[in-house]
Amino acid sequence: MNLRKHKLLQTWRWYGPIDPVTLQDVKQAGATGIVSALHHIPHGEIWPLADIEDRKAIIEASGLHWAVVESVPVHEAIKTRRSDADKYIENYKITLRNLAQCGIKTVCYNFMPVLDWTRTQLDLTMADGSKALYFNWLELAVFDLFILKREGADADYTEDIKSRAKTRFATMDTDELNELKVNVLMGIPNEKEIELEALRASIDEYKTIGREGLKNNLAYFLNKIAAVCEETGINMTIHPDDPPYAILGLPRIVSTKDDLLDILKRVDRPFNGICFCTGSLGAGASNNLSEIFDAVKERVYFLHLRNVTKDEAGNFYEADHLGGDVNMYEIMKAVVAENELREEPIPFRPDHGHQMLDDLNKVTNPGYSAIGRLRGLAELRGLELGISGNY
């Protein structure tokens, strides 16, 4: 076997010039590639070539390079396949061409209905005093039953959870309830949160679409952009659902090994790939991450490496990168072996990180403070080096 012995591509998510973490900070952390997106452009609109070139120039002026786009958001009209879906798909195709013209060929996206990642608390205090993101079913039930007041929500929770949620709601003041609402609806930093009425309307729309309908809509979208991706050399990498199970009555289709294999089978073309996120998949109690990676590894074009600690009730918090339930050593061994077979290194980033040290006194994007990710990148880099011996 011809082992190429090149390292994984170490990247860092950067939200652009308004990000509290600067490109100089990124350089000091040791990453060489940037994962970025044009968050100022509304979902569904074309990313102008000039805007992409400007962002790329800023990144390259710092001595880094724009390695991955995360993400080009998929408009809700596409996910629900409304009558205007094809208009937004055409916009998406133009954006892909513009990115390719600038040499950016890896695009991460998700197909989660309405919301992006969902957490109920953004500042869970850990034993060492750092702060982590947290998902708690009881708090979600409070939001679902008493803030959102979703029709049919009762059927999704046990009697015990409903009883405890009612008691918990009765003890919460206005500020606490508003904080919970903001946390659940946080979505993507720098983007406007969705309003409750719009969320209720979307939930009703997805009731009609269902899980199978959403799968079909994803395949429709991928087939529509396939020719552009193949012509330009772009690889699409779908991000798993976060968390990887149904919440708020919304369907999930990117949560398990079977889900990922189904996506690859429905549109069995090399451009159609996976973003392997150990944190999102790791939150699923039945997910065996080593098995999942082995099943889809040839189509993994991007890696998010983070860890979670779960309890028996399905609650989880984001743990240290080398702590938690995910066996990062086993995952990194498999990743290193796959990377050595590639012509180009697989990009990875330390996904999320604890708010810690001086960052505790700063306003940061949830999960994306500098020092916690710096620690994670250092740990992951050391783990890769120890496994590969590639100095």
**What are the residue numbers of the active site?**
239, 277, 304, 351-352, 368
CA gap 74, 27 in Å, rounded: 30
**How far lies 377's CA from each of 13, 111, 290, 383, in Å?**
12, 27, 21, 10
Contact predicate 10/351, CB 8 Å: no
Please give the C-alpha separations between residue 264 and each of 31, 74, 215, in angstroms, as whole numbers.
Answer: 30, 18, 11
Report helix, strand or coil for 195: coil
Q: Residue 50: phi, psi to the nearest 5?
A: -65, -40
- Measured in degrees and rounded to the nearest 5, phi and psi for residue 35 equal -110, 115
Alpha-carbon distance of 381 to 17, in angstroms, equals 26
- CA angle, 265 then 266 then 270, to 5°: 65
At a CB cut-off of 8 Å and minimum separation 6, what does 25 contact?
370
Does residue 61 contact residue 22 with C-beta atoms inside 8 Å?
no
49-61 and 85-101 helices cross at what angle (nearest 10)?
A: 40
